[in-house]
């Protein structure tokens, strides 16, 4: 009896019924795949709150070793998720790893040993780390953390034409990344933003750099004027100066160099040399960005740090 009933059910499954079942299955699969694809496509570039920090630490504290302990405490207090550093002089990968552990970072990359290395540390795994030195004065790190490409920047300190070539190399490398890549560039760019030009209208920097160019055969001035071409090229490439983008009413310009730390020689008036740039897709997640100028940071290094906070909500 059971076999006869089963046979009748089988007989009812006609070719048309089979085609209908297959069509419905294909439709459901397509809808499911489309939903998953859209979810991946529309996934935000960050999935949690994120704080990044860039800091030029002046010769790796070899000039002011007594400030190192205070700096480590300050770094820990900032609770940054990703850190970019310049002038890690006399650092080794092991030394950077030890410092990074102080502020809770397990992962780190050092550009090189010797000269003026840059470095990057992270609370999250660092992937696809690339080190570039050819064509650069100091060098460049490119690495990925949680799907975002980060560049650790330290451009030439006294040659505007060389800096422009370095920006060309950076943009060329960016051109090799996927077209929908999320990208952050952070560090000491050693140059001026046209967005700050009104703060330099006092005319104090031109004679300062003119004297340096003559005395040390440097190339700071472009035709006797401050050079903005490197950052103009970067902004024309689709990158936004985040700190400038987040300035509020009543903003007071501090620059990021020099600080109040004791340092021999004349270093000119305040100017902004340290920046964080990002491409468009990340901008909607920026919550705040600022150069940190306070009673502590003014005496830790000759540069001030820059902090950017991203928030998912």
Q: Which of 26-30, 76-80, 309-313 has the lowest mean pLDDT?
A: 26-30
Query: Is 246 or 15 the better-scoring residue by pLDDT?
Result: 246
Query: Is 263 or 3 the better-scoring residue by pLDDT?
Result: 263
To the question of domain 51-310 being in CATH 3.20.20.240, the answer is no
Query: Is 46 or 237 the better-scoring residue by pLDDT?
Result: 237
Output the pLDDT for position 28: 54
How buried is 293 (Cβ within 10 angstroms: 0-12 exposed, 13-18 middle, 19+ buried)? middle
pLDDT in tens, 156-203: 999 999 999 999 999 999 999 999 999 999 999 999 999 999 999 999
Q: Is the pLDDT of residue 257 over 80?
A: yes
Q: Considering the entire predicted model, what is its pTM?
A: 0.86
Confidence tier at 39 by pLDDT (50, 70, 90): very low
Q: How many angstroms separate the Cα of 211 from the Cα of each of 151, 199, 206, 228, 255?
A: 33, 21, 9, 19, 21
- The 140-145 sheet, strands edge to edge: 127-132, 140-145, 148-154, 182-188, 274-279, 239-241
pLDDT in tens, 41-85: 456 666 679 999 999 999 999 999 999 999 999 999 999 999 999
Output the pLDDT for position 14: 56
Output the pLDDT for position 38: 45
Output the pLDDT for position 21: 53
Output the pLDDT for position 25: 56
User: What totals of helices (H) and strands (E) does the chain contain, helices first?
Assistant: 9, 12
Report the C-alpha gap between 282 and 89 in whole angstroms: 32
Q: Is the pLDDT of residue 246 over 50?
A: yes
Q: What is the mean pLDDT of residues 18-30?
A: 55
Output the pLDDT for position 312: 77
């Amino acid at each position: 009896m059971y076999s006869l009933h089963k046979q009748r059910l089988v007989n009812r499954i006609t070719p048309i019924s089979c085609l209908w079942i297959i069509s419905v299955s294909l439709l459901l699969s397509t809808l499911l795949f489309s939903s998953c694809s859209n979810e991946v496509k529309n996934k935000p570039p960050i999935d949690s709150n994120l704080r990044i920090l860039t800091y030029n630490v002046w010769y790796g504290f070899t000039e002011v070793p007594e400030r190192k302990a205070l700096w480590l405490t300050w770094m820990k207090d900032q609770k940054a998720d990703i850190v970019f550093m310049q002038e890690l002089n006399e650092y080794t990968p092991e030394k950077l790893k030890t410092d990074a552990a102080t502020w809770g970072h397990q992962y780190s990359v050092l550009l090189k040993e010797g000269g003026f290395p840059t470095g990057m540390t992270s609370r999250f795994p660092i992937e696809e780390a690339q080190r570039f030195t050819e064509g650069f004065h100091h060098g460049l790190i490119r690495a990925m953390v949680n799907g975002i490409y980060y560049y650790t920047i330290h451009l030439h300190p006294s040659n505007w034409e060389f800096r422009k070539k370095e920006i060309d190399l950076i943009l060329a490398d960016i051109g090799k990344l996927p077209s929908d890549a999320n990208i952050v560039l952070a560090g000491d760019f050693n140059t001026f933003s046209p967005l700050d030009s009104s703060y330099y209208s006092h005319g104090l920097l031109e004679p300062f750099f003119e004297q340096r160019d003559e005395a040390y055969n440097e190339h700071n001035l472009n035709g006797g004027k401050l050079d903005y071409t490197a950052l103009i090229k970067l902004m024309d490439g689709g990158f936004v100066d985040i700190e400038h983008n987040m300035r509020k009413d009543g903003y007071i310009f501090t620059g990021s160099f020099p600080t109040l730390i004791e340092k021999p020689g004349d270093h000119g008036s305040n100017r902004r040399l340290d920046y964080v740039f990002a491409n468009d897709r990340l901008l909607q997640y920026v919550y705040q960005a600022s150069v940190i100028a306070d009673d502590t940071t003014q005496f830790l290094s000759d540069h001030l740090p820059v902090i950017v906070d991203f928030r998912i909500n």
